[in-house]
Structure 1
Amino acid sequence: MPSYTVTVATGSQWFAGTDDYIYLSLVGSAGCSEKHLLDKPFYNDFERGAVDSYDVTVDEELGDIQLVKIEKRKYWLHDDWYLKYITLKTPFGDYIEFPCYRWIAGEGEIVLRDGRAKLACDDQIHILKQHRRKELETRQKQYRWMEWNPGFPLSIDAKCHKDLPRDIQFDSEKGVDFVLNYSKAIENLFINCFMHMFQSSWNDFADFEKIFVKISNTISERVMNHWQEDLMFGYQFLNGCNPVLIQRCTQLPEKLPVTMEMVECSLERQLTLQQEVEQGNIFIVDYELLDGIDANKTDPNTLQFLAAPICLLYKNLANKIVPIAIQLNQVPGDENPIFLPSDAKYDWLLAKIWVRSSDFHVHQTVTHLLRTHLVSEVFGIAMYRQLPAVHPIFKLLVAHVRFTIAINTKAREQLICEYGLFDKANATGGGGHVQMVQRAMQDLTYSSLCFPEAIKARGMDSAEDIPYYFYRDDGLLVWEAIKTFMAEVVGIYYKSDQVVAEDQELQNFVNDVYVYGMRGKKASASAQHAAVNFGQYDWCSWIPNAPPTMRAPPPTAKGMVTIEQIVATLPDRGRSCWHLGAVWALSQFQENELFLGMYPEEHFVERPVKEAMAQFRKNLDAVVRVIAERNKNKKLPYYYLSPDRIPNSVAI
């Protein structure tokens, strides 16, 4: 009688093992085997991290093995099991791999295909077509769309983390509990002692050091020491947390009536302001998105305020970007003056602080939340709903949406929900952040998510004209490495555009992204998340450089600002502490983080794909070396887009 050697690998994460009964059936082209109990006498099978082998003898020839069926039946108590993979050695010496990398919960079963990626058109046998269809039918019941707020990209239909399908939950929920992490951060930062003085003001700028000095690092210390300087202010538009707003100014907007006389002392080339614009030396950042957004009113004891500034910047003779004019709201007028570097010291400083605060709000809500987290979730849900596990694009994408849906569900449950943690410290809490996302959706297009196109659209693509834009330089290197790898893998399975067009599963996936993510607008990635997330502590921990809220409205006249007024405008002690805990917690990598190019779950079994992955890692290593060499001896190194610091997915 034919005998097969079956090897079963159990996951190594917490609680992956099981004491339940595990049964296996083999489905071949010539028949189906009986159900076999996988059990070794006097041996504890399926322990966490275990690889167990069994001899399975069948009564008759099965032909080519097409499916492996695994059933789990309760032994004593409810006991989930994480199955990594099964391998099969046939009586004829063939070796077949069946990737799984899924949980089997309760008294459940999983039917696996071998690991070769197949398009729907490759499946001619009825049983394989049926398996493909049933898998998607099951997934579409599990992964349902939900509109969390009107106008948002749709999200997963789950009220809390435990409602999610088991396969996309975190291994340990504690590690991503925002409430727990905030509390832990505040405890680690030794700032509990300030919480009882929640609504009291700081005395002066030096007072902020009392909560800052405990966890100082190279970049954040430099920010603390140089935050008032125009060079540091300008540098952050290129390489800070939010390097995606600055654009070349091709025409001065009417709503910013700045004149040559105002900025003449800031210009270094003996040219008029208009000539500087024509030569490409003037840049602009416009926070129009914030105009009319409701400020946080959740705390009746503290008024909070927002502004919608316009900031004009100049590339000086040293090719550095510096501010030359700031208007704090959108409509010009006597009570909305244009602040200049030539103004009184504290007038100019407060104007810059307002810009930095506005930048913080746009960064958190649009650049970070919408354009990395929510967009990535859409791709993840669409993938699970429309691409079976055997599909090459599923195999290609699955590592890059790992835990993304879970972290977003956690955020909706604890962080950005009504009365959530976001409301505690942010002027856009209490609903303003929702309004911002709804507005920003109007500018969410496919091209704006494509790194080179987004850079070019802002006129920031010339390395010769705009040096020191490390976000652009490193991002393009990473983009090219990813694009080359993806194109190579896709080319293995799609031999022509016609094959792409005729792949209905792929078309359904793209349609889901368009309808539920882009919300059907006709105009309409993880590396970007690294660029805008992991620098939050570096650039935002020094409170005056990124105030999460302001407690007085923007000044309406010049010559009135004192340092006491600035300190009274900045966040109070309690909100500063909450903010510091937040940016610290959000800047930490996950435990056992998987970085770009790491694929420990082997969904692909084909040699050409494995070779492409190996080359991808080599290309990424080359990018790491280029960035490391560039950063040597830099007082402000830029490392957020170094591939060894880019997680595989949006998961924090």
Structure 2
Amino acid sequence: MPSYTVTVTTGSQWFAGTDDYIYITLVGSKGCSEKNLLDKPFYNDFERGAVDSYDITVAEDIGDIQLIKINKHKYWYKDDWYCRHITVKTPAGDYLEFPCYRWISNDKEIDLREGTAKLVTHDVTQIHKQHRRKELEDRQKQYRWKEWHPGFPLSIDAHCHSDLPHDIQFDSEKGVDFILNYTKAMENLFVNSFMHMFQSSWNDFADFERIFVRISNTISEYFIQHWKEDFMFGYQFLNGCNPVEITKCTKIPENFPVTQEMVELCLERKLTLQQEIELGNIFIVDYKLLDGISANKTDPCTMQYIAAPICLLYKNLENKIMPIAIQLNQTPGPENPIFLPSDAEYDWLLAKIWVRSSDFHVHQTVTHLLRTHLLTEVFAIGMFRQLPAVHPVFKLLIPHVRFTIAINTKAREQLICECGLFDKANATGGGGHVELLLRAMKEFTYESLCLPSAIKMRGMESKEDIPYYFFRDDGMKVWDATLNFAKDVVDVYYDSDKTVCEDSELQAFVKDVYVYGLRDNEGSGFPKMIKTKEKLIEYLTLVMFTASGQHAAVNFGQLFLGLYPDEHFVEKRVKKAMAKFRKNLEDIISFIQERNKNKKLPYYYLSPDRIPNSVAV
């Protein structure tokens, strides 16, 4: 009688194992096996991290394996099980891999397909077509769109984290990790000893500096020593936490009446302001998005304020970007003067502090929240709703949306909700952050998320003109490596533009993102459908880079980019493409390490060994 060897790998995360009864059924082209209990007498099966093998004998030939069915029945209490993957060795000696990577709950049956990625047009058997259709029907019931706030990108239909499907919730380790990291951060900052300082006004800059007395990070120490200086102020626009606002200035705005006389002492080349503009040495940062945004009034005893500044910057003879003029609001006039480096020391310093405050608000709400977190959730929901696990695009994107829906749900519970952390800590709290995000949605475009286009739109592409823009340099290397990886994978499954057009599941994914996630916003420039391989490669690169490199540049890292512990792909060509991708990333790491040697301000946010795969923090 034919005999199969089934090998089951249990996840290594906390509580992944189970004491429940696990059954397996092999479904072949000619018939099915019996429902087999996987059990070894006197042996504790399915422990955390375990690899268990079982022999299954069938009475007659069941043909080529089409699916395997997994059933779990309760032993004595609720005991979910995380199955990584299952391997089946056939009587002919072939090995078939069945990726799972999901939690299996009590008395639930799941069907697994062999891991070779398939487009919908590749499925010819009825059982595979039915499985594909049923999987998406079930997913669309679980992953429903919901409007959390009018005008926001649509999000997951869940009131709280515990409402989410189990497979996308934080696991126990991730939850504990959040608590430990928070505690460690508080301990490092020694905040407890200075908590009273947050409950009253600060008297001088020394109060601020005392908070950071225990920080041992070299970059932070250097910044603390030099934060008041103009060169550090300018450097942050290039390589700080919000390096996407600075733009080459081609014309002084009418509402920012900077004159030659105001800035001529700063122009080291002894040229006119207009000549410096024409040479590409003048830059501008304009926070007009903040104009008129409501300031936080949640505490009636504390007045808070929001500026909407315009800042002019100059590339000096040392190629440093230096501020030369600051106007704190958008409407010029006697009550809204232009501050200059020649002003009194603290007048100029306070003007710079107001700019940094405005940069913080735009960074937190627009650059970070909207353009990485909320956008990646849109891609994640569309992916779960429209792409089955066997689809190559699902396999490609799944590592890049890990925990994103969970972290965003937590944010809606605790951070951006009414009386959340934004309301308690930010000047845009109490509704201003919502106004700001809605305003940003109107200017939000597909092109601005494609890094090469975004940099070119701001006139910041020239390394010769702007030599120390490491966000651009490192970001482009990571973008290109990601694009080449996406191309290698796309080439495996799509032989022509026609194949792309005929992929109904892919088109449904793109349409779901556009119509629901992005509210059918034609002005966004997001495609409603994808017609070419080239556009598909760019689209997938945008998704992966937004979730990994772009988020890393404005946040910080956890799992390193290119390391995929869950092996959804089984094909050798794709594994070869992954190896090539990792090699390219390693080259980038080496380049950045060499570049950063002996730098007082090394830039490593976009070093791939510090880039998370997904938006999960």
TM-score of the pair, normalised by structure 2 = 0.94
Tell me the equivalent position of 1:552: none
* Conservation of the 8 A alpha-carbon contact between 2:376 and 2:546: no
Q: Secondary structure at the match of 2:214?
A: helix
Give the secondary-structure state (helix, strand or coil) at the position aligned to 1:214.
coil
For residues 586-625 of structure 1, what are the structure 2 equivalents within 5 Å?
A: 587=556, 589=557, 593-625=558-590
Equivalent AA in structure 2 for residue 112 of structure 1: L
For residues 389 and 514 of structure 1, the distance between their equivalents in structure 2, rounded to whole angstroms, comes to: 21
Distance 1:401 1:594 in 2: 12
Q: Structure 1 pair 505/534, CA: closer, same or farther in 2 (3 Å)?
A: closer
* Deviating more after overlay: 206-215 vs 222-231: 206-215
Cα offset for 1:197? Answer: 5.0
Amino acid at match of 2:430: G
Larger deviation: 205-214 or 109-118? 205-214
Equivalence for 2:612: 647
Counterpart AA for 1:281: N
Counterpart position of 1:626: 591
C-alpha deviation, 1:10, in angstroms = 0.5
What residue number does 1:436 align with? 436
1:291 and 1:106 mapped to 2: Cα distance? 54
Aligned to 1:232: 232
- Residue of structure 2 in register with 1:483 after alignment: 483
Give the secondary-structure state (helix, strand or coil) at the position aligned to 1:241.
coil
| Cα distance, 1:177 vs structure 2 | 8.4
Partners of 2:101 and 2:566 within 8 A in 1: yes
Q: How many angstroms apart in 1 are the aligned matches of 2:547 and 2:506?
A: 25
Q: Are residues 1:249 and 2:284 paired?
A: no
Provide the rounded CA distance (Å) in 2 between the counterparts of 1:62 and 1:139. 30
Deviation at 1:602, TM superposition (A): 0.9
Change (3 A) 1:533 1:518: closer
Secondary structure, aligned partner of 2:7 = strand
What residue in structure 1 maps to residue 217 of structure 2? 217
Deviations 1:563-601 (A, max 9, x none): xxxxxxxxxxxxxxxxxxxxxxx75x5xxx421110111
Q: TM-score, normalised by structure 1?
A: 0.89
Q: Distance in 1 between matches of 2:550 and 2:176?
A: 19
Question: 1:598 corresponds to which letter in structure 2?
Answer: L
Structure 1 residue 331 displacement after superposition: 0.5
* 2:403 counterpart residue number: 403
- Residue 560 of structure 2 contacts residue 611 of structure 2 at CA under 8 Å; is this kept in 1? yes
Kindly state the Cα deviation for residue 415 of structure 1 after the two structures are TM-superposed.
1.5
Deviation, 1:527, is: 4.8
- Which residue of structure 1 lines up, in the alignment, with residue 337 of structure 2? 337
Aligned to 1:301: 301
Partner-residue secondary structure (3-state), 1:213:
coil
Instruction: Provide the residue aligned with 2:539 in structure 1.
Output: none
8 Å contact 2:290–2:307 — kept in the other structure?
Answer: yes
Q: 2 CA distance for matches of 1:3 and 1:174?
A: 40
The answer to whether the Cα contact below 8 Å between 2:234 and 2:313 also exists between their aligned partners in 1 is yes
1:627-652 CA distances to partner (integer Å, 9 max, x unpaired)? 11100000000000000000111110
Q: Which amino acid aligns with 2:598?
A: N
Q: Is the contact made by 1:179 and 1:414 (CA closer than 8 Å) also made in structure 2?
A: no
- How far, CA to CA, are the matches of 1:293 and 1:117 in structure 2? 48
Which string of whole-angstrom CA distances, capped at 9 and with x for unpartnered residues, describes residues 497-542 of structure 1? Answer: 1100110000010011111232212232465566676677xxxxxx
Amino acid at match of 2:445: T
Question: Are residues 1:508 and 2:508 paired?
Answer: yes
Displacement of 1:187 after TM fit? 4.1
User: Is the contact between residue 401 and residue 547 of structure 2 (CA under 8 Å) also seen in structure 1?
Assistant: no
Q: What residue in structure 2 maps to residue 98 of structure 1? A: 98
Out of 432-441 and 527-536, give the one that drifted further: 527-536
Tell me the C-alpha RMSD between the 2 structures.
1.7
Judging changes above 3 Å, is the alpha-carbon distance between structure 1 residues 251 and 176 closer, same or farther for their aligned structure 2 residues? farther
Distance in 1 (CA, whole Å) between partners of 2:150 and 2:106 is: 36
- d(CA) in 2 for partners of 1:183, 1:467: 39
Residues 454-512 of structure 1: CA distance to partner in whole angstroms, max 9, x if unpaired? 00000000111111000000000001111001100111000011100110000010011
Structure 1 counterpart of 2:101, one-letter code: Y
Q: Which residue of 1 aligns with 2:191?
A: 191
Q: 2:287 is matched with which residue?
A: 287
Deviation, 1:422, is 2.2
1:46 alignment partner AA: F
2:314 corresponds in structure 1 to 314
Superposition pairs of residues 35-434 of structure 1, within 5 angstroms? 35-172=35-172, 175=175, 182=182, 185-196=185-196, 198-434=198-434
Equivalent position SS for 2:213: helix
**C-alpha displacement of 1:218:** 1.2
Q: Quick one: structure 1 residues 531 and 140, their matched pair in 2 at CA, closer, same or farther if it must change by over 3 Å?
A: closer
Q: 1:52 to 1:159 in 2, by over 3 A?
A: same
SS for the counterpart of 2:594 is: helix
Select the residue among 591, 601, 612 that pairs with 1:636.
Answer: 601
8 Å CA contact 1:241–1:533 kept in 2: the answer is: no
- Segments of structure 1 that go 5 or more residues without pairing to the other structure are 537-585
CA distance in 2, matches of 1:193, 1:601: 43
Q: Take 1:226 and 1:349, find their aligned partners in 2: how far apart are those partners? A: 12
Rate the CA distance shift 1:444–1:278 in 2: closer, same or farther, 3 A.
Answer: same
In structure 2, how many angstroms separate the alpha carbons of the residues matched to 1:627 and 1:191? 33
Question: 2:511 and 2:142 mapped to 1: Cα distance?
Answer: 19
Q: Which runs of 5+ in 2 are unaligned?
A: 525-542
Q: Could you tell me which amino acid in structure 2 is paired with residue 58 of structure 1?
A: V
Could you tell me whether the CA contact under 8 Å between 2:242 and 2:359 is conserved in 1? yes
Q: Is the 8 A contact 1:372 1:526 kept in 2?
A: no
Partners of 1:535 and 1:353 in 2: how far apart?
Answer: 22
Shift in Å, 1:364: 0.7
Q: Note the alpha carbon deviations across 1:545-568, whole angstroms, 9 max, x for none.
A: xxxxxxxxxxxxxxxxxxxxxxxx
Distance in 1, Cα, partners of 2:428 & 2:370: 14
Q: Secondary structure at the match of 1:49?
A: coil
Q: Distance in 2 between matches of 1:226 and 1:241?
A: 17
Match of 2:493 in 1: 493
SS at match of 1:215: coil
Distance 1:500 1:522 in 2: 22
Residues 482, 544 of structure 2: 8 Å contact kept: no
How far apart are residue 417 of structure 1 and its match? Answer: 1.2
In 2, the alpha carbon distance for the partners of 1:483 and 1:206 equals 47
- CA-CA distance at 1:436 after TM superposition: 0.9
Q: Which has the higher contact order (CA 8 A, sep 6+)?
A: 1
How much has 1:223 moved relative to structure 2? 1.4
Total equivalences in the alignment: 599
The 3 A distance-change label for structure 1 pair 177 and 641 is closer
Distance 1:174 1:11 in 2: 14
Distance 1:14 1:484, change over 3 A: same
- AA aligned to 1:172 is S
Residues of 1 paired with 2:356 and 2:59: CA distance? 74
CA contact (8 A) 1:527 1:641 kept: no
For 1:63, give the aligned amino acid: G
Q: Deviations over 1:146-186 (max 9, x none)?
A: 11111111111111111110111111276378788656633
